[in-house]
């Protein structure tokens, strides 16, 4: 399961029917939980004629990702055992104006062949997203480069042991950020992890009356209306 802001999703992977020799019968379905009811939002059947055996979710670079372990162990209808592989699918939620109304649409990003692909696990190490996948004979690790960038003045004077940074910003909204601090000969120190979220406008402020406002009398509202 995973969350996109206030929305909750459940991913169900079906390995297919090995007894009938139908490796292409595997499927992956994304459901959304609405009022305690699961509603189907997205479905993939017969992923490259492989059997789906495991799936992992992660959020990176303002997009949602599914890593799917496809591992065929029986021949297809043509008598061919398909190459096991790790499949990467991405849903670019950042392209939507609002995540609450964004239609679920995962698109194929990459396929990584391997001798055996029985599982896939996502984890974060030293601030980097990693995938480890494979089987008992071989394991592979994939690392991802973040597109996030820190902007602003990254140096500040320390006054009584306290340095204040006033104009730092990060260009991507996602979790698990950490800042690394250094000062002269002191050992560098990484701060606690934190999440960056997209902010919403809360109010409009009338900076100056419009033309002709003064001739009509009155004054700006004391409490400005909220923007929905």
Residues 84-118 have pLDDT tens digits of 888 899 998 877 877 788 899 998 888 888 888 88
Question: What's the pLDDT at 40?
Answer: 92
Cα distances (Å, whole numbers) of residue 220 to 35, 95, 210, 213: 43, 37, 10, 10
What percentage of the chain carries pLDDT values higher than 90? 11
Q: Which residues contact 212 (CB under 8 A, 6 or more apart)?
A: none
Count CB-CB contacts under 10 A for residue 50: 25
Rounded mean pLDDT, 34-43: 90
Residues 50-93 have pLDDT tens digits of 678 888 999 887 789 999 888 766 665 666 666 788 889 999 88
Q: What is the 3-state secondary structure (H, E, C) of the chain?
A: CEEECCEEEEEEEECCEHHHCEHHHCEEEEEEEECCEEEEEEEEECHHHCCEEEEEEEEECCEEEEEEEECCCCCCCCCCCCCCEEEEEEECHHHCCCHHHCCCCCEEEEEEECCCCCEEEEEEECCEEEEEEECCCCEEEEECCCCCCEECCCCCCEECCEECCCCCEECCCCCCECCEECCCCCCCEECCCECCCCCCCCCCCCCCCCCCHHHHCCCCCCCCCCCC
Residues 142-180 have pLDDT tens digits of 887 777 788 888 888 888 888 888 888 887 777 677 888
Angle at 88 between CA 56 and CA 142, to 5 degrees: 80
Question: What's the pLDDT at 21?
Answer: 46
pLDDT of 217 > 70? The answer is no
Which of these ranges, 27-31, 97-101, 117-121, 195-199, has the smallest mean pLDDT? 195-199
Confidence bin at 228 (pLDDT 50/70/90): very low
């Amino acid at each position: 399961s995973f969350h996109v802001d206030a929305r909750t999703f459940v991913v169900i992977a079906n390995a297919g029917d090995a007894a009938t020799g139908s490796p292409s019968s595997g499927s992956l379905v994304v459901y959304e939980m609405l009022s305690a009811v699961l509603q189907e939002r997205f479905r993939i059947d017969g992923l490259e004629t492989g059997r789906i055996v495991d799936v992992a979710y992660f959020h990176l670079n303002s997009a949602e990702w599914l890593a799917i372990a496809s591992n065929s162990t029986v021949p297809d209808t043509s008598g061919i055992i398909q190459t096991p592989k790790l499949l990467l699918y991405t849903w670019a939620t950042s392209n939507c104006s609002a995540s609450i109304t964004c239609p679920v649409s995962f698109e194929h990003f990459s396929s990584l062949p391997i001798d055996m692909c029985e599982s896939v696990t996502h984890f974060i190490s030293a601030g980097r997203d990693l995938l480890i996948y494979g089987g008992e004979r071989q394991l592979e690790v994939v690392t991802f480069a973040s597109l996030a960038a820190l902007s602003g003045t990254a140096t500040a004077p320390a006054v009584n042991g306290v340095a204040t940074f006033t104009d730092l910003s990060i260009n991507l909204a996602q979790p698990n950020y950490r800042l690394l601090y250094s000062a002269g000969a002191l050992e560098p120190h990484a701060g606690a992890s934190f999440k960056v979220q997209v902010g919403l406008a809360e109010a409009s402020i009338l900076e100056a009356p419009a033309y002709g406002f003064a001739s009509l009398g009155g004054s700006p509202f004391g409490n400005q209306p909220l923007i929905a």
